[in-house]
Structure 1
Amino acid sequence: MNILSLARKWFGRLRFKSKVIAVFLPLIIISLLILGLVSNQLFSRSLIEQTTSNVVDESQLILSRTDYIFSSVETAANIMVTNINRMYDSYGARPDTAMDRVQFGNLMQSRLSIDLSIFREVDAAVFIDTEGTIFASYTESGDDSKVDSMLKRVRESESYGQALWFDMEKRDFLTPDPNSPVLTLGKMVINIDTGDPYGTLFLLVKEEGLSDYFRSSDPDTNKSYYFLDNEMRVAVAEDNGMLMKPVSSQLAEAIQGCGSNVSPKTCSFEDGGNLVTVNDYNRMGWKLVNIVSLSLLTADVRQNVRLSLLIGVFCLAFSWLGASFLSKMVVSPLEQLTRAMRKVVTGDLQSVATVRTEDEIGTIAEAFNFMIRRIRELLDEVRQEQNRKREYELALMTAQIKPHFLYNTLDTIYALNELDRNDEARDTTKALADFYRMVLNKGRELIILEKEAQITDDYLTILQIRYPDVFRYEVDIPSELAGTPIPKLSLQPLVENSIYHGLKKKGTKGFIRIFAFKQNDRVIVRVEDNGVGMNEVQVQNIMSRHLPKEGIRSIGTYSVQQRLSLYFGEEYGISVQSVLGEGTIVDLSLPTLPKGSEHQDV
């Protein structure tokens, strides 16, 4: 029940176009998947069964041709045995002299060659008499001592009327081509009248004579045929690289354990992505194996599946177009209004609903646009009120700073007069007059950096008279930066902090340096001293509105930070770097005045 409720809530949050797609898209996809899977299975199974049936028929044809070769070789052996008997009968007796043996050998070789011309299935013939003399239809160059094992097997078979077949093998004796495997038939040759043995006849069949049938079976299909002997070695194959090599143990076990599931002597199974069909050839104890790649076999089926998927994609595309058309005709105005509302939620109050219909949706859109317009107006009014409030607060802070300095300076002048230090009192009075002349410069809050430096110089002159043993100072403003606009009395609070918080506590005479330089697109005015420095907590306190113990003196630094942000933006202001026991560096960042321009308030 909870799952159904969640599904309903999810479906209810979807847009109309998404709802149409959410209903019809899964139905189309599921239908296409079922159709593709079922058709793929049916077509694949039907194709495999048809291929298996074709392979069985083709295998029977190959087995028939192979059996014909074996029968022809056995027939050739019988006829050649008869012909050898006739040669011995016509010659009268075994040759005794060397001349007779040479003549008899030539006749025997001629006889064998003539018989081979009749039986094309036999590639070579060898007759070995009881004395070990070898008569071959070719030039025999092998090791005669290796022939004894074959002669022994033929004699021990005790089947004078039957032929003995040897396994396919590659050897360097009794073969016209040592590089080609040969199949050998051995048969005893005896005197028909007396039963005395004349010798042993061997007929040789090259492997190519059997594998030629594989190449001509069906050249248009990608199939692989080969014969396996009873030791699971490849006896006959189209690929010469496979000859006389055993198949993999996994395939050998599968072939040996395969039951007759197609016909009494045929079985079929799948192995490693291949369709394997096995037919028994009992005459030699061999197995005819056919390998067909399932991926190639089912390529057409996969092509049909891809075609079905392509059709499905077109159907999905048409469904999407239909849903889009329906959405555009029915809910497009609502979507436009929704997009405008979402932009407002993210903070974009410039968004406007562009619905121009005269129905209920058009009425809602008109009311929405009026509401957003009214909100923008109210926010502008609030912003202006906040700026005015900040200006009033900063003006109050500045007013607090100016009397504080005035009172202290007047006290200093009074004390100098009492001490009859009239020259110093005169200089102090002149510096105070210059200071307030610049501070009260037509009531403007922004002045150029050169004037601000003069104000600071006058201020430092007065304080140096008050504290002659506390500090000395240096002011260096490059001429190219002299016209940079700066809020009035921005440097005086920073210098005051350097003296009162850094140099007076040092115990020795310190140094204050004021200089300016350009950094990227900003002008940096730096006030640095070699006073006692501050830790991180003190730095944070000096940037706040009130210091825990120093009271109103921090208002000046706070005022500078706030005024810079008010006039130039939040990215401009003050940064403080200080190390205890080494001193403090205060950077005041200002915007660069473009060439040829002039601030209206400077």
Structure 2
Amino acid sequence: MKHFFRKMSLKQRLWVSFVLLTVVCISATGTYVSVFFSHEMELQATKTSQDTLNRTAQVLDERLRNIVVLVSTLMMGEPFQQTMKDVQGDSGNNYFYHLSQMQTAFAQLMVADQSIDTVLLHTPIGEFYPTENSRSGRAFEDTLLYDKINTVNGPWNMLWVPGHDEELFRRGNPVISLIIKPLFENPVASTYVIVNIREEYLEKLIMSNRSETSINQLIIDRKGQGVLSSINNPVNDNSRIYEQSGDDSKGNFEYRNASGELFLVNYAALGMNPDWAIVGYQSKSELLRPISRMRWTILTIMGACVLLALIMSSMLSELLLKPLFKLRNLMMKVERNKLDVRFESAFEDEISQVGHKFNRMLEQIQELLEEVKVSEQAKRKSEIKALQAQIDPHFLYNTLNTIYWKSEMEESQAVGEMIVSLSLLFRLGLNNGKEITTLRQELEHVEQYLKLQAMCYPDLFRYEIKPAEDSLLAYPVLKIVLQPLVENSILHGFQELPHQGRIVIEAIEADGLLTLIVTDNGTGMDAAQVERLLNHPPDKLDSYALANVRSRLKLYYGEKAAMELYSEPGVATTVKLTIPIHEVIHE
């Protein structure tokens, strides 16, 4: 066969090769199109389902958040506060007076949100509720809600209870319940605000946000139990669904039920209660049913194309051979980085047009090579700024909340100090839009942050910024590299620490390198495991602090920069940043 092929003329070999290539390419293209459309249809359906779930989760979160805000407003009202004072004093003499005073607040709550079915304030001196509702004879201690409270491990302020029949009043509607401990200066034992939310209202919210009728939706909890008792489940195995979803807030996967039917599953956790997730199901067989008809159409088209290729290949081989060889030779020269070659032809056929486009492409490549050199540096700076913008100032909420409460308690001096520190923190962080700051300003920036956190979390930790040599303070460093490390220590190292935490920051110089060291005595971490996690894609990380700092250092300083992690849990956890020293910034 090889000998026979070698004896063919170049034209014959081109003809045979062209036919074989056509057959292979059309077959591959047909197969690819079938697989591609199946994949794209599946991706589009998954995306549509995810968008639908995200919208539904957002709407439900807004509704649940509105209810929480309304209850908080109720608890901050004067009637509620006066009632709590009597509860705290164990004085039931004014029970009927307080019951009367609370009616207006209850009425406003019920009017403000139509999804609220009933509301009850349970206290040691008695129960307070809208008198227009008929209270059942069942004691609160004998209800499912009381059992749920007793099964909670650890401290809590707000508890969501999945769907159940309403037990406190005679309505008996299917509801989900919100249990909140009252907002009061001192904790009040055995006192709860119970808000029952109608399931039918939440069902209407879910149904109104469905963009596809083929998507079935339900809400499950971490145990795989349905949250709304009245929504049908086509899969009937929620526990396996939850196991496959993992701890991510949203995502998708394929799931095969006990009968062998394959489903496309999307899920999105609720922000107000991460233990609950909205799950959407689609039958994959029903979704991909149009693809089977498409495959038969593709096979018919493939047969016609192969027949046409047999006819056209003989005609085209003669016309394309000569200029094609010429163009190929030029391309081979380009492969050897000879970009000054050009295609020339007296003809104006398609190959000549391709040759002229080839010439234009070479000119554009030469122009792009020059532009890439200029744009690469700008791209690197943009990536640094983009990474820097990911630094999450989530402590701002706690800071402003602390300022508010301190102002309420008339601690004007503390409020003034916090406002000044917050102002300095932002001014130093902005740094007039520059990426590089001095070591002095970077240490001052992290000091202002620590001051604010220390006032937000009194007695949680203490800190020490060891004085650096005067010659080091003017050295240029990438801004906001210490604050994420300190934030990581406070949020992950001290929250469960039985004793007061301690943070030590120091800067030293050795061998032409500047080393910044952050050490804490927190609960620690598995340094080797964290190193492995830092190599994962950013969207797979739970925390961006360490990965963000390391990425920005690498982008700006290259391989000369390094980040090292050391940890002995409960004793010392150290993050060491090493960067090259450049010229001094004159302030």
- TM-score with structure 2 setting the length: 0.40
TM-score by length of 1: 0.39
Q: Larger C-alpha radius of gyration, 1 or 2?
A: 1
